[in-house]
Each structure stands twice: as C-alpha cells, then as structure tokens.
Chains A and B, each alone.
Chain A
Amino acid sequence: MEPAKDSMATTTPTSYESFVSEHRVALRQAMVARFGVDVGCEATADAMAYAFEHWARVSIMTNPLGYLYRVGQTSARKQFRWSKPIALPPPDAQRLPDVEPGLPKALVGLSDERRVIVLLVHSHDWSYAQVADFLNIDIAKVRNELHRGLQQLRNDLGGAPS
C-alpha cells in the first residue's frame, strides 16, 4: 500500500501532475474509507477533476487535500440519499484467511469519521498528525476516535485484544 504523504496540510505542489502523483492515492484511501470502493473511487475522480478545473485556486490552499476531500464528499453524497449505508467488500477468504468476515460490517457500523480514522491509521499507515491535518481536527480527537473505534470493533467482532 502506498503511505500517505508526510504533510497533508502544508504541501503546495508546483503542478497538478505532481499533485496527482503525490496525493491521489492518499485521497482515494480516505474516500474509500468514507464511502466504500465504488463511490470512493468516483468521488476521488470527481475531486481530482475539480482540482484540475480550479487548480489556480486549489494549488495555493494550505490544505488542498483536505479541501478536495470535502469536494469529494459533496460529490458522493448524492449516492447516499436517504441514509443508504456504504458498502465495503467482504474480505477475500483465500487471500485474507485471518480476517474476520464480519470486519467490513463492523467497520460500516462505525461512524463515518471514526471509520475513516481507523482505516487510515491502521490500514494505510497514516500518522495521527497526518490524519489530523487531513481532516482538520485536533490530534487528540484522532487518538480518541481511534481508541473508541478499535474498542467498538473488538466488541462487535468479539475479537482478540491487541
């Protein structure tokens, strides 16, 4: 997996192409965590398209990735009218024999923000600071949400303690 960039908030890319190459995967990771694979990928593409069309403005933002995350959220919301739940793919039983089959459902059961934090930190190796910058929240909140998210997953799965 591709790790997120060191600094989400202060990176000011010199070109759209470099921005895409550096940040698109990170944005997609967050979008997929938030909306599932299909809608997440679509939202990422929409956000990148938006960045392309408004690059002059986006490029000078202090937190362009966080902004585009919001743009992607706006784009994706219409896919989730009337509280339709997101869909995460089931774990591949052959490739991931040790992953609980109920993990995706348990993840969906988390609040949106909590799920994003849990997946970014533990699935995609983002640091707390990166997540805090990206979501524009306090790092203490990241820590708390992560702790509560893992606890909730353990409760839901009846899983092993870490």
Chain B
Amino acid sequence: MKTIEDQLRAYGSQLTSIADEHEAVTERSPKNSGGVDYALASPDPVKPKRNKWIPFAPIAAAAAAIMALVSSHIFGHTTANAQKVRFSALAAKPGAQRVVIDELPQGFAFDNVTEIPTNQTFSNLLIIGESGPTEMIESVVTASQSKEDMYADGSSQLNGSIQLKNYVGKTVRVITEHDPKKNDRITQITMIAPLEGCGFAYLYNGPNPSEEVLADQLAKLKCSNGRLTGTAPAGQEVLYNGPMGSYQGPLPMTSYTDGKNHVVSIEAVAATFPEQLREIIERLSPELTAVDTQRISGREVSVRELPGVGINYAWVDDDVQYALTADRTVSIDDVAKIIRSVRSAADDEWQKMLAPDRPV
C-alpha cells in the first residue's frame, strides 16, 4: 500500500488529465464556437464567456423598471370554488402613478360595474401584472397616457380588455374582462386613491363591492412615513389552501416607498404584521423550492418559489427579505439588480458591497 502522499500525487495526475480532457471537449463544443474572438497567444487559449454580471450603471434604468415589475406585489392567494384569487399591491410615488395588477383573479365576475365618467388623466401610468395581458396593457396604456379611457385588447393569453376610469378624481377602477366565450371570465376591480405621502393606495376587492364597502376599506388604510398599511377588506378573510397550507385570516397588506422606487418589502410586512407574516412564512417554508441561488458579495441571495402558486421570495442570508412577484421568470440576476437598486437608493455602501466584481 502506498502512502497517502503517494496516492494524492497519483490522483492529482489523474485530475490534471481529466481536466485537460474536459477543457479540450469544452473548447470544441458548439457552445464555445461562436462569440467574440478573443484570440490569445496562449497555446491553450481561453475563450472568455459572456460575463454573467451586467455592470450596474447601464442597467440602472432597467432595474427601476424591473423593480416596478417584480417588487410591487404583495402576496395573497386564496382558493374559492377552486379558483385562485390573488391580492395585488398597487402603489406609486406621488407624481409617478403606477398601477400594478397581479395575476387576474379567476372566478369572480363583475357584471354590473358602473362606468364612471372622468375628466382626469394619468401620466406615467403603468399597469403591470404577471399574466399575459398585462404587458400588453402596459404598452397600450403607456402609449395612451393622454386618453381618458384606455382600452386594450390583445391576443395574449387572457385576451383581456381594460378600461381605466378615474373616479371622482380620486379613485380608479380597473376592469379586466376575459373572453366570455371561453367561459372563464376574469375580472378584477381595483380601487386606487391618493394618500398623502404614500402616492396611490390600492384596494382590491373580491365580488363586486358596494361604494360603501370600498369607502370603508379605503378608510382602513393608513399612511405613515411613506408606508402604507392596512388589512384585508372587512369580511373578506382570505383562505390559504393547497400549496399554501391552511392559513386563514386577513391578508397583510402593506407597501413601502423608499422615495425613489416603490417597494413591497416583506420587511415592511413584518414590521406591520409580524404575527401574520410569521405564521405564513412558517407554513410556507417547508414547501418553498429554490429557484436559484447566488453569492452576492458575501450575501447568500436566493429566489425561492412556492410551487403551484408562483410567488417568488428573495432570501438574503437565509432570511426572507423580499416578497417578489408571481412571475416565475424572475431570475436571480433580476433579484440582484433589485436589491442593488433598492439598497443603492438607501445606502450607497450597499451598492459597493453588491458590486459584482467584488470578491467575496
């Protein structure tokens, strides 16, 4: 029997041989056959791969957009009559009104929605959501900012239409209707009201609420230091079922504005609804599945999703810190950008810490 040292030496030789073979195969693979020609003088040239990190500066604007896309959701699902309903968080900083629509709830129809005349238009109105029509809606609305009524009809998944009406100068109803021919009409009503210091607040309601109910819900919203808090609409407890366990109770609803971007942060939720959050997260944790994980300057950042529901959570150093979006296409890079964007707005040091080229 040879000594350990001898065995290690022999094994090291094998590792080197295998690595040489691996690199030879990799060099010949179609994967590395294209791209920029980094001709090297080295006899065994290395073809640099695409840098997975995008420098922060060029994507700053994009990151803000992604922020709006993926971070403006509050979580909340229910199953009712086997239909999935989601809560949305809508908010915007003053002067830059944003409306965010989560996945359109199914199983609810608002047949008698009153169209309310308006003479007020929105500027920089943005409607974003997870499902097919929302990108379409976003583009149409963006292109129709000056119009009083915005109507979009596309060929996307939901083939939806949307009408935006300003209500008494303060509230807006967003009505989204699915193709009734498919017998799965989807409608969502969203009420938005300006709250001083918090931009626009949001209320989502289930079955067609009365004006009194809406007013009552609106009155429950509080704005403090740019943070919007509130509870689920009275009498509309949310039943978590299936993949979300069996939590039943009012949905925590909060939003947070950092002065630059609207952020729905689970930290904010935790601050406002610690008990609810704890209960929800405890129920969710065993079922959360990792989507991607990346080490960002010493911080372990991962995206975890809840199978069958689709809400992504970003975990930083094993503590959930952001509730993101129902859009499962969110990548860890998107999360990194979001975190950089958020943190940089609050703390330049964070941006330095999260610089992609900083070794951990």
> Using a CB–CB distance below 8 Å, which chain A residues touch chain B?
1-2, 15-18, 20-21, 24, 28-29, 32-33, 37-38, 40-41, 45-46, 48-50, 52-54, 57, 67, 70-71, 73-75, 77-78, 81-82, 88-89, 91-92, 95-96, 98-100, 103-104, 118-119, 122-125, 150, 153-154, 157, 159-162
Q: Which of B2, B49, B360 is within 8 Å of A70, CB to CB?
A: B360
Show 29 residue pairs from A and B whose CB-CB distance is below 8 angstroms, ordered by the A residue: A17-B40, A21-B42, A24-B42, A37-B18, A37-B22, A38-B22, A45-B23, A45-B48, A46-B49, A48-B46, A49-B49, A54-B357, A71-B357, A71-B359, A73-B360, A74-B360, A77-B293, A78-B294, A78-B332, A81-B290, A89-B15, A96-B7, A96-B10, A118-B8, A122-B4, A122-B8, A123-B12, A159-B7, A162-B3
Nearest chain B CB to A90 CB, angstrom units: 9
Give the complex CA separation of A8 and B359 in angstroms: 17
> Using a CB–CB distance below 8 Å, which chain B residues touch chain A?
1-16, 18-19, 22-23, 26, 38, 40-49, 51-52, 290, 292-295, 302, 332, 357, 359-360
**Complex contacts, B359 vs chain A, CB 8 Å:** 67, 70-71, 73-74
CB-CB nearest in chain A for B297: A74
**Complex contacts, A70 vs chain B, CB 8 Å:** 359-360
CB-CB nearest in chain A for B38: A52
State whether A24 touches B44 (Cβ < 8 A): yes
Q: Which of B5, B13, B43, B293 is within 8 Å of A162, CB to CB?
A: B5
- Closest 7 pairs (CB-CB, A-B): A123-B12, A49-B48, A70-B359, A17-B41, A122-B8, A81-B293, A162-B3
Nearest chain A CB to B17 CB, angstrom units: 9
State whether B49 touches A37 (Cβ < 8 A): no
State whether A50 touches B11 (Cβ < 8 A): no
State whether B7 touches A29 (Cβ < 8 A): no
Extra contacts besides A77-B294, A78-B294 (6): CB < 8 Å: A2-B16, A18-B41, A53-B48, A77-B293, A81-B302, A91-B10
State whether A78 touches B290 (Cβ < 8 A): no
State whether A81 touches B292 (Cβ < 8 A): yes
Give the complex CA separation of A81 and B11 in angstroms: 27
Known: A52-B38, A74-B295, A150-B4. A32 touches B48 (CB 8 A): no
Q: Which of A28, A48, A75, A122 is within 8 Å of B5, CB to CB?
A: A122
**Complex contacts, A33 vs chain B, CB 8 Å:** 15
CB-CB nearest in chain A for B356: A74
State whether B1 touches A119 (Cβ < 8 A): no
Nearest chain A CB to B153 CB, angstrom units: 41
Give the complex CA separation of A52 and B359 in angstroms: 16
Nearest chain B CB to A78 CB, angstrom units: 5
State whether B12 touches A124 (Cβ < 8 A): yes
Q: Which of B9, B10, B19, B290 is within 8 Å of A28, CB to CB?
A: B19
**Complex contacts, B360 vs chain A, CB 8 Å:** 70, 73-74
State whether A45 touches B49 (Cβ < 8 A): yes
Give the complex CA separation of A26 and B318 in angstroms: 34
Nearest chain A CB to B18 CB, angstrom units: 5
Known: A77-B294, A99-B10. A37 touches B42 (CB 8 A): no
**Complex contacts, A160 vs chain B, CB 8 Å:** 1-4
Determine which residue in B23, B47, B290 has the highest number of CB atoms from chain A within 10 A of its CB, and name it: B23
Q: Which of B2, B3, B51 is within 8 Å of A49, CB to CB?
A: B51
CB-CB nearest in chain B for A120: B12
**Complex contacts, A18 vs chain B, CB 8 Å:** 41
Nearest chain B CB to A76 CB, angstrom units: 9
State whether A119 touches B12 (Cβ < 8 A): yes
CB-CB nearest in chain A for B23: A41
Q: Which of A48, A77, A123, A162 is within 8 Å of B48, CB to CB?
A: A48
State whether A1 touches B12 (Cβ < 8 A): yes
Nearest chain B CB to A56 CB, angstrom units: 12
